[in-house]
A and B are shown apart, each in its own frame.
Chain A
């Protein structure tokens, strides 16, 4: 079945450091891939997405490229800020046009220290 495996946290970085959070997936078809961010006490916010192989999603300095050959969708940011401290979830949706359920990774907690 479909699944998402995320790099375990927590991750602690200094401000302006480079961030990578690894995400790999297993899917039977051609999923859409997503990164969501959850700030403390809040729901999830869509950070970026990619719907087909080699697509790059980007938002707020974060990027992730849909790599079919390695079944990966790693999240990167060149210079993190304290305000990026949150939990990041990788997710896939197997059948985007039929609104099928999402499969979430376990989440990676990021803390950025000044």
Chain B
């Protein structure tokens, strides 16, 4: 099936610093990418949706200036957590949908997630 990678898998940073998380579709072109946040033992919370070459659409309550999303190409989206604080510590998961030999356009394919810990 389709492969989506995320990097890094884990990151620990100091409060006040910025952290960038990359999400890549490895074998298909991702026209749309999604960023989720997951708290322990809870479901996924959609943060934003991004289409290649255009600005991301943020869900209500998500600060766009704090969570910067860039989807500059059909295979890469980045999420930058700016001026991170301990309450931003979470598991961040990206997903992608698009066109490829082994993808269906109605399905989201998920990355393995990034565990962010802010000290």
Contact = CB atoms under 8 A, between A and B. Distances in A.
B97 A107 contact: no
B19 to A, nearest CB: 18
Interface size class of A (residues with CB under 8 A): 20 to 34
Interface residues of B, number: 26
Contacts of A41: 113, 115
B111 A43 contact: yes
Contact of A99 (B43, B46, B97, B110): B97
B79 interface: no
A109 B41 contact: yes
Q: Nearest 8 pairs between A and B by C-beta?
A: A96-B106, A44-B110, A43-B110, A43-B112, A43-B113, A99-B32, A106-B43, A104-B43
Interface of A: 32, 34, 36, 41-46, 49, 51, 89, 93, 96-97, 99, 101-102, 104-107, 109
14 contacts: A34-B107, A42-B112, A44-B95, A46-B1, A89-B43, A97-B105, A97-B106, A99-B31, A99-B105, A99-B106, A101-B46, A104-B44, A106-B42, A109-B41
